[in-house]
């Protein structure tokens, strides 16, 4: 009997332990960058772990190589929490892209909403703003969207970071900064002038592209490289004005029809002419392949019609305010004669990816992990405006390597921002000029809303009070940035909503809100699900 009693006690104890562990909020895995790639995001993740530990929530920080992180986040949605970022490219001054990151139509694999947020009102507003030509009315929709999305905290906007870069003032001049992009922008080949006999511009980078497939790449590193050798119908000027580029002219025929006259005499890098067939194919192919990264751009498109040997009509499903400035400036022109035989563009291996474009630079080589090179396309229609012969990219393991390359004059400029400590040092170097521009991109912590607890609005709102925004900005960024509030940055003032909910760092309030939502703490101090 005694042995039976002991056995029963053990069974009850095990059952009790199982019950307690089953009701506990599990440890969450947090994807973030490696320290070498971005020490700010890396350290911010550990700050979050420390703060959330006070609430009985365990975080397992997983520093991950950048391309692998991006693939897991977007293409596989293999994450629970991710500390990632959106760069502020010029096309994103129009709010369309950032708004799409919370649209339910972007929640599938490869889409811009990998967390899976869904809100019917948000989606309704997204459609309304996209078709609204009255700027003031569109602004009202955009402001409401920010209020709706940020109230539910599917992602927490951590911070906006100033874009601070540097270049060697003894080798090249003429750099033209752009908001959100600084000096590494698509006008670089047209503006920079050599000060010596060396006509090869060398750029130091900390990261190579995720890939160079224009139907698969989803990172800034991929597109900032490819957009120099793929052309677009529209390019946005340094003042963010849409300029007809591969298009000779762009005109609205009516509310849903855009007429594009293709520039005469253009050729691809293999010598084949750029025709209206290539323009139609480029857009049709992106739609056919359902490249989710571009889906917000091509979603309004009904069809592309060839009118004559130089004219195409883009016929839209409905009036779309952003189509000319965003869609026509982002989707690259690809050669039909090369891509039409490729059935699944996103399945190409590295060696199978075509690299023939019609842009100002030609793809030359990419030795992964070490080096990339573009050369001037001598037959480009604006080749006379390009004073350099090539762009070399030296790939370093971390930002410290890039900065050392600047100091030793191995590179002429940086493609990515300097770290706070490096900025102070660079400002004392006579051969370096430091350039700072505000960024309208943002860094964020996105939750996978398919994961228990993270799918609970009350849980996320409580944890929004457990993010040390000010410490991140003041300590990690050395004050060179601003705490995050919304998916549209304050510097983009016309579209930014200054009245979205702001969650102050307050662990006591976070605990109170969790308790009010039914969460509770066991004897070991771990947070448990509501009973």
Predicted local confidence at residue 240, as pLDDT:
80
Q: Which of 94-98, 380-384, 474-478 has the highest mean pLDDT?
A: 380-384
Q: Assign 438 to helix, strand or coil.
A: coil
Domain 234-339 classified CATH 3.90.76.10? yes
Contact 439, 160 (CB under 8 A): yes
User: 150-162: per-residue pLDDT in tens?
Assistant: 999 999 999 999 8
DSSP of 25-91: PPPEEEEEE-TTT-HHHHHHHHHHHHHHHTTT--EEEEEE-HHHHHIIIIII---SEEEEEE---GG
Query: Which DSSP letter does residue 471 get?
Result: H
Average pLDDT over residues 109-116: 95
| Whether residue 13 has pLDDT greater than 60 | no
Q: Is the pLDDT of residue 10 over 70?
A: no
Query: Between β-strands 442-447 and 155-161, what pairing exists: parallel, antiparallel or unpaired?
Result: antiparallel
Share of the chain above pLDDT 70, in %: 96
pLDDT, mean of residues 180-197? 95
Question: Percent of the chain beyond pLDDT 90?
Answer: 84
**pLDDT of 3 above 60:** no
Kindly list the domain boundaries of the chain, sorted by start residue. Answer: 23-161+440-528, 175-218+359-437, 234-339
Model pLDDT, residue 133: 87
Per-range mean pLDDT, top range of 24-28, 177-181, 214-218: 24-28
Over residues 459-491, the pLDDT tens digits come to 999 999 999 999 999 999 999 899 999 999 999
Q: Which of 238-252, 256-270, 503-517 has the least mean pLDDT?
A: 238-252
Would you tell me the crossing angle of helices 120-130 and 135-152 to the nearest 10 degrees? Answer: 160
Q: Give pLDDT, residue 417.
A: 87
Taking 60 as the threshold, does the pLDDT of residue 8 lie above it?
A: no
How many CB atoms are closer than 10 A to CB 158?
Answer: 27
**What is the rounded CA–CA span in Å between residue 116 and residue 163?**
29
From the centroid of its chain, how far is CA 91? 12
Q: Are 256 and 316 in contact (CB under 8 A)?
A: yes
Contacts (Cβ under 8 Å, ≥6 apart) of 343: none
- Given this chain, do its domains 23-161+440-528 and 175-218+359-437 carry the same CATH topology? no
Residue 113: pLDDT band (50, 70, 90) is: very high
Mean pLDDT value across residues 104-121: 96
Q: In the predicted model, what is the mean pLDDT of residues 72-85?
A: 96
Looking up tokens 């939502």, which residue turns up?
A: 517
Rounded CA-CA distance 280/363 in Å is 23
Rounded Cα distance, 245 and 65, in Å? 36
Tokens of 248: 């000779």
Place of tokens 């989606």: 123
Confidence (pLDDT) at 90: 81
What's the rounded Cα separation, in Å, for the pair 353 and 120?
39
pLDDT given at position 468: 97
Across 188-199, average pLDDT: 97
Q: Which two tokens stand for residue 407?
A: 């100091």
361-381: string of b/e by CB count within 10 Å (b at 16+)? bbbeebeeeeebbbbbbeebb
Q: How far apart are CA 442 and CA 445, in angstroms?
A: 10
- Rounded Cα distance between 191 and 188, Å, is 5
Contact 204, 406 (CB under 8 A): yes
Structure confidence at residue 6 (pLDDT): 41
Average pLDDT over all residues of the chain: 93
Q: Is the pLDDT of residue 121 over 50?
A: yes
Return the minimum-mean-pLDDT range out of 39-48, 179-188, 508-517. 179-188
| Nearest to 149, CA basis, from 95, 87, 199 | 95
Residue 179: the pLDDT is: 82
- Looking at CATH, the fold of the domain delimited by 175-218+359-437 is given as D-Maltodextrin-Binding Protein; domain 2 (3.40.190)
What are the structure tokens assigned to 458, written together?
């009350």
Distance CA 283, CA 265 (A): 21
Which parts of 209-264 fold into alpha helices (H)?
A: 220-226
Q: Residue 316 has what pLDDT?
A: 96
Q: Rounded mean pLDDT of 278-287?
A: 98
What's the pLDDT band for 219 if we cut at 50, 70, 90? confident
Least confident of 46-55, 90-99, 150-159: 90-99
pLDDT score of 21: 59
Domain 23-161+440-528 has CATH 3.10.105: yes
Q: In this predicted structure, what is the pLDDT of residue 321?
A: 86
Contact 366, 372 (CB under 8 A): yes
- Two tokens at 87? 């760069």
Q: Is 254 exposed, middle or buried (0-12, 13-18, 19+ CB in 10 A)?
A: exposed
């Amino acid at each position: 009997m005694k042995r039976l009693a002991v056995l029963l006690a053990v069974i009850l104890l095990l059952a009790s332990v199982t019950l307690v562990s089953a009701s506990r909020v599990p440890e969450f895995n947090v994807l973030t960058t490696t320290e070498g790639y971005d020490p700010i995001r890396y350290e911010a993740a550990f700050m979050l772990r420390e703060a959330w530990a006070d609430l009985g929530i365990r975080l397992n920080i997983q520093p991950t190589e950048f391309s692998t992180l991006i693939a897991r986040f977007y293409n596989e949605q293999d994450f629970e929490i991710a500390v990632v970022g959106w760069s502020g490219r010029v096309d994103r001054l129009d709010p369309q892209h950032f708004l799409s990151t919370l649209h339910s139509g972007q929640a599938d694999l490869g889409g811009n909403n990998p967390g899976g947020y869904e809100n019917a009102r948000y989606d309704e507003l997204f459609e309304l703003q996209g078709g609204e030509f009255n700027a003031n009315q569109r602004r009202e929709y955009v402001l409401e969207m920010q209020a709706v999305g940020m109230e539910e905290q599917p992602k927490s906007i951590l911070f906006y970071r100033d874009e601070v870069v540097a270049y060697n003032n003894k080798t090249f001049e003429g750099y033209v900064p752009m908001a959100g992009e600084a000096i590494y922008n698509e006008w670089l080949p047209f503006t920079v002038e050599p000060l010596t006999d060396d006509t090869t511009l060398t750029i130091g980078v900390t990261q190579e592209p995720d890939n160079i497939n224009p139907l698969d790449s989803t990172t800034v590193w991929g597109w900032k490289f490819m957009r120099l050798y793929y052309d677009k119908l529209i390019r946005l000027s340094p003042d963010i004005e849409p300029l007809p580029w591969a298009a000779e002219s762009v005109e609205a025929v009516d509310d849903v029809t855009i007429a594009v006259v293709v520039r005469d005499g253009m050729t691809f890098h293999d010598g084949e002419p750029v025709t209206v067939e290539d323009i139609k194919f480029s857009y049709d192919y992106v739609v056919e392949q359902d490249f989710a990264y571009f889906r917000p751009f091509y979603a309004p498109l009904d069809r592309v019609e060839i009118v004559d040997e130089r004219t195409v009509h883009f016929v839209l499903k409905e009036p779309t305010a952003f189509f000319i400035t965003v869609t026509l400036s982002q989707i690259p022109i690809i050669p039909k004669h090369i891509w039409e035989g490729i059935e699944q563009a996103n399945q190409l291996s590295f060696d199978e990816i075509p690299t023939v474009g019609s842009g100002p630079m030609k793809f030359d080589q990419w030795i992964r992990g070490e080096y990339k090179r573009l050369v001037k396309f001598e037959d480009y229609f604006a080749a006379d405006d390009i004073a350099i012969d090539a762009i070399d990219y030296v790939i370093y393991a971390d930002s410290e390597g890039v900065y050392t390359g600047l100091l030793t004059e191995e590179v002429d400029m940086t493609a990515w921002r300097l770290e706070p400590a490096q900025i102070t040092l660079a400002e004392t170097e006579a051969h370096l000029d430091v350039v700072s521009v505000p960024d309208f991109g943002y860094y964020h912590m996105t939750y996978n809303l398919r994961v228990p607890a993270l799918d609970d609005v009350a849980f996320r709102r409580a944890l929004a009070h457990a993010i040390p925004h000010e410490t991140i900005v003041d300590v990690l960024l050395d004050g060179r940035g601003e705490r995050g509030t919304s998916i549209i940055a304050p510097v983009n003032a016309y579209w930014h909503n200054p009245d979205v909910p702001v969650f102050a760092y307050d662990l006591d309030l976070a605990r109170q809100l969790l308790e009010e939502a039914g969460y509770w703490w066991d004897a070991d101090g771990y947070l448990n699900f509501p009973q």
